[in-house]
Amino acid sequence: TRSSWRLIGPAAELSKKRCRLMHSSLGYDADVCLFYVKGEFFAMGARCAHSGGPLCDGDIEEADGVLKVFCPWHDYDFDLRTGKSGTSLQQQVYEVKLEDGNVYVKHVSQPADQRR
Ligand code: FES
């Protein structure tokens, strides 16, 4: 599996919005949401593992120290850190790093439906 760090942009700018939708050259299903919640960035597949709902538009809640996004379509929950859902579905998540004030996401160069 090939993956590489992709420069997204300056953290100061990206932290102004709760979520950004990043389009992938691999197509719609590989688009990524970059969330900024409680001082931390999280990257997750933008299309819900259930039926493709727009996770960027989901509500975010914290329960027992776990940050979750709730899909706006059928309210399935996904852990922002692990992509795990209480429904047993798994959403793709991507590593994020900060370097010199810039945000990078490790984007795997393979179709989003070939999960690790
Ligand atoms: S599409 Fe996200 S919960 Fe159904």
How many Å lie between the centroid of ligand 1 and the Cα of residue 52? 6
Tell me the C-alpha distance between 61 and 37, whole Å.
10
Residues 49 and 58 sit within 8 Å (Cβ to Cβ):
no
- Condensed to tens digits (0 to 9), the pLDDT of residues 34-53 reads 999 999 999 999 999 999 99
Confirm whether 99 is domain-assigned: yes
Is 115 part of a structural domain of the chain? no
Indicate whether 9 belongs to any domain: yes
- 96-111: per-residue pLDDT in tens? 999 999 999 997 654 4
3-state secondary structure 20-89: EEECCCCCHHHCEEEEEECCEEEEEECECCCCCCEHHHCEEEEECCEEEEECCCCCCEEECCCCECCCCC
Taking the model in full, what pTM does it have? 0.88
User: Of ligand 1's atoms, which has the minimum distance to the CA of residue 53?
Assistant: 1
Structural domain contains residue 112: no
Residue 67 Cα to ligand 1 midpoint, Å, equals 18
> Containing domain of residue 31, as a range?
3-106
* d(CA 54, ligand 1 centre) in Å: 8
User: What is the pLDDT at residue 1?
Assistant: 56
CA 99/CA 116 separation, integer angstroms: 26
